[in-house]
Amino acid sequence: MCLSHEVLTAAYQGFLDQLTDAGLLIPSGVPGVYGHSGVFERVLEGFDQSITRRSAHLNAEVIRFPGVLNRQHYLKTSHIESFPDLMGSIHSFTGNERDHLGLLQKRADGEDWTQDLKPTQLMLTPATCYPLYPTATGTLREGGRTVDLRSFVFRHEPSIDPCRMQMFRMHEAVRLGSPEQALAHRGLWMELGKEILNAAGLNVECVVANDPFFGRGGRVMAVSQKEQSLKFEMVIPVATAEKPTAIMSCNYHLDYFGKAFGIHTADGQVAHSACMGFGLERVTLALFKTHGFHPDRWPADVKHELGL
């Protein structure tokens, strides 16, 4: 179905108003950036613990990176080619006292003071798995690695769709190893991810998907990604039934990160990788949409699953 822009906009604004009126989201004045209430966080953390509990048998190494990425590492990826419009670069002031006075004067005069800032060594993390690969340069141990990650990520995509945030949390599981190991990990998580979401009462559908590559060249890359079935998403209606939202993704990167960061398997091949990622805020919004805004009234099995 082809939905008109107006109908979609109204659906997004309506759901956003409901969420803010209920106090679950606290608007910041910038689209896609919200505070969350204690109830929202309790549900989000309850779901996060369900992921951990139901994947404990995979014995993943747990690593936590902050939501920033070494700028040099960022530049070893092709993010700047593929998603320039989504990036976040951190700048700060590095001048002396005289420069500082100039900066303050510009601010007072309503001029553009941001031109006086300099890039720091940091970018904002575009996806939770990015900081892992540069730390894996070299040869993997026999059997490769499975790593459990969680962080905030930044994507510059301001929107009134409450599910499209600029800063949000991803819980990922990454596999580094042979092509077979990477693909097996993705296959396993397509099943397990669905199981975890179903246990929380979310009846998702699995669809083949593509990333939002930039520009005309990007359209070719998106088609190629889809043709190769590299990305699958678990979708469910959230703001509107007509345009379901992806709340989890399963990706196969081929040897892209292995090549970019010089990661090799124990037998000397370039490592392949796969990752799965739950969008924790989106899952939480899907839970509120599906079960209502009052967790104490949710089905007993869902409350039990989420420890509520």
d(CA 50, CA 63): 18
| Burial class of residue 249, CB neighbours in 10 A (0-12, 13-18, 19+) | buried
The helix (H) or strand (E) run that includes residue 304 is helix 300-305
**Cβ-contact 123, 89 below 8 angstroms:** yes
Q: Which does 129 bind (CB under 5 to 8 A by kind): Zn ion, ligand AMP, none?
A: Zn ion
CB of 197 to Zn ion, least distance (A): 18
CB of 54 to Zn ion, least distance (A): 19
Q: Which does 275 bind (CB under 5 to 8 A by kind): ligand AMP, Zn ion, none?
A: Zn ion
The reply on whether position 275 binds Zn ion by CB under 5 A is: yes
Q: Which residue, 68 or 173, is less far from ligand AMP as judged by CB?
A: 173
Q: Which residue, 28 or 121, is less far from ligand AMP as judged by CB?
A: 28
CB of 91 to ligand AMP, least distance (A): 22
- The two tokens of residue 166 are 């600029």
- Report the site for ligand AMP in 73-132 (rule: CB under 6 A): 127
Q: Which residue, 134 or 295, is less far from Zn ion as judged by CB?
A: 134
Exactly one of 164, 243, 259, 264 binds ligand AMP (CB under 6 A); which one? 164
Those residues whose C-beta lies under 8 Å from the C-beta of residue 111, and which sit 6 or more positions away, are none
Q: For the chain, how many helices (H) and strands (E)?
A: 10, 14
Cα radius of gyration (the chain): 21
| Short-list 24, 7, 3, 5, CA closest to 288 | 24
Exactly one of 185, 272, 282, 289 binds ligand AMP (CB under 6 A); which one? 282
Exactly one of 43, 173, 239, 248 binds ligand AMP (CB under 6 A); which one? 248
Question: For strand 89-92 and strand 118-124, is the pairing parallel, antiparallel, or unpaired?
Answer: antiparallel
> Which residues of the shown chain bind Zn ion in the complex (CB under 5 A)?
127, 129, 275
> Which residues of the shown chain bind ligand AMP in the complex (CB under 6 A)?
127, 155, 157, 163-165, 168, 170, 233, 246-249, 277, 279, 281-282
